[in-house]
Amino acid sequence: MVRCAECGVHAPKGDAVVAGGEYFCSTEHAQRHGARASGHDAR
């Protein structure tokens, strides 16, 4: 199990999305987290 860097939900490692060396529960959360980290709002 890994923890989503965006929302904190735990997901099986095999189902998680990896982006920028971090784990996410969905591609939406990976994109949202990446946009915020780069200074852009993903909304």
Q: Residue 15 belongs to what H/E stretch? A: none
Report how far residue 43's alpha carbon sits from residue 5's, in angstroms, rounded to the nearest whole number.
18
Nearest CA to 28 out of 20, 17, 39, 37 is that of: 17
Top-confidence residue, 39 or 12: 12
In degrees and rounded to multiples of 5, residue 29 shows phi and psi of -70, -35
Q: 3-class DSSP state for residue 39?
A: coil
pLDDT tens for residues 5-32? 999 999 999 999 999 999 999 999 999 9
Residue 42 pLDDT greater than 60, yes or no: no
Q: Residue 3 pLDDT more than 70?
A: yes
Rounded to two decimals, the pTM is 0.81
Give yes or no for residue 43 having a pLDDT over 90. no
Q: Burial of 25 by CB count in 10 Å (0-12 exposed, 13-18 middle, 19+ buried)?
A: buried
